[in-house]
A and B are shown apart, each in its own frame.
Chain A
Amino acid sequence: MFRRWFSAGIATRRLVVLFCAAVLLVALAVRYPDAFHDANETARANAALDQVDRAVGAGNSVFPDQALLVEARGLIPPDESFAVAVGPPQPGWTELTANGADLFLRSFLLPRRLDPEARWIVCVGCDRNDYPGADAVWEGEDGLSVLRRES
């Protein structure tokens, strides 16, 4: 059999195929257990999170307190709009808070639309004097609050 396999003319091609198949099998023997382990680890880590952590997802990296997102979603009716007011960075903020808060809120709060003149204001360290007559409906730490003004 081996003599037939390595007969003149096609031996080189077959050796190349065998070499490639061997490399493939070695790579697979290394990679498959890792990929299987990673998928299981991710599944375990996801299962260990609570429902709010999963729902907020990347928002946990953008906001110092996920309660703002939960409260904003609960308080602002889905058919209303909201404004986002971001103030200067404060202690406790992540490096993404100042630049990412606006975009994340627009994404997370859909179908609520963004409107600078909206009745609801999600305040991320904002200056409340800029919104006279607006009441805080919810207040958290690190300058986070949800305001509502008379329409």
Chain B
Amino acid sequence: MRAILGLAALNGAYAVLGVALLWAIRGLPRWTDVLRLAGLGYLLGVAAFGVVWTQLLVVGVPLGGWGVVLSLACGTAAAAFAAVLLGRQRPRGFGDPERHASPFAVLVTAAGVSLSGLLLEALFRSARLQGLQAYDAWAFWVPKGKAIYFFGGLDEQVFTTFPGPTYPPLVPILDAASFHAMGGADTITFHLQFWFFVLGAVAAIAGLLYRHVSAWLLWPALLLVLTVPRVASHLLIPQADVLVDIFFVVGEGADRSHVLATMARLRAHGLAADTDYAGRSKKGQLTQAARLGAKTTVVVEADGARIARPGGDEPTTLEDLAASLGA
């Protein structure tokens, strides 16, 4: 229970920081604006915290429990101070003069909120007792978070010898902050942090589109996004790369270093490329590619590579593949 309360407090603090930033950036004339943009504020708070701590860790500032508290408190105070300096009015009153909802829209909104709430409640129970299962999560995302939590910074051994050493540390920083909030590296309850991200994202999308899209279009679309298999099955997995553009299946005798170099080129051009690090069989790797929903699956053998297509494989080389994708 203490761990859950700690996580709730941490995520509440992210939201307060983000709302203060929004107040400074655009002003929040009414309390309904605060409520409407609380989700966006939460995501802004999470992003600001992660970006600032990425820079602080790079210059050697240790991330500890007090560091998390102080950075959130100072960030919020600085944003509020900026809002006052910029002459932003304090939020006053309720109601939304720019939106006159019909009874039908209110009904649809109530149904949408209820259905989203039901699904989120089920996801909460699912995350509450979830063990660490996803390969990338236990192989490097969470160990990096643990390293920041235990050692206070970008530990050289963990950040250079675990897979994905070039990945940005934003997610591990958020993991480490959640470990501090829970009072320990509890990799079970920690999945609730990702539930909070889902909650924040739903609130942000609904809040941003509320004034611009009819309720009968907004809520079915939002619910469908939450329930499509590719998203629903990945919502609570503690890793950053939810979507995979290209998955490399590496066969026996293939030059793995060549594959890794190609992946680095693709990643440098913003493509999410992944491969197997767990010694799976070729069949297992193909299953993994399908499970990750990879847009393109490339099978690399000792004598060449081919792109897996439903109607038949297409021969290629890693150079041609990278060039065709602009890398």
Contact = CB atoms under 8 A, between A and B. Distances in A.
Contacts of A100: 278-279
Contact of A32 (B135, B150, B223, B280): B223
Contacts of A7: none
B232 interface: yes
Interface stretch (A39-47, A116-124, A134-142): A39-47
B129 A47 contact: yes
Interface of A: 17, 21, 24-25, 27-28, 31-32, 34-36, 38-40, 42-43, 46-47, 49, 53-59, 95-96, 98-100, 103-104, 106-108, 110-111, 113-114
A103 B277 contact: yes
A58 B122 CA distance: 23
A36 B142 contact: no
A98 B187 CA distance: 24
What 3 pairs between A and B have smallest CB-CB spacing? A99-B279, A57-B131, A39-B122
Contacts of B151: 111
Chain A contact residues, majority secondary structure: helix
B224 A104 contact: no
Given A28-B223, A36-B119, A57 B133 contact: yes
Contacts, number: 120
A30 B6 CA distance: 37
Given A107-B143, A110-B147, A58 B227 contact: no
Nearest to A17: B217
Interface in B151-174: 151, 157-158, 161-163
A95 B50 CA distance: 37
Contact of A106 (B119, B143, B278): B143
Contacts of B162: 103, 106-107
Given A40-B122, A43-B125, A103-B277, A25 B220 contact: yes
Contacts of A21: 216-217, 220
Nearest to A42: B126
A43 B232 contact: no
A34 B122 CA distance: 12
Interface in B210-246: 216-217, 220-221, 223-224, 226-229, 232-233
A28 B139 contact: no
Contacts of B129: 43, 46-47, 49, 54
A96 to B, nearest CB: 5
B56 interface: no
A95 B285 CA distance: 12
Given A55-B131, A96-B279, A24 B224 contact: yes
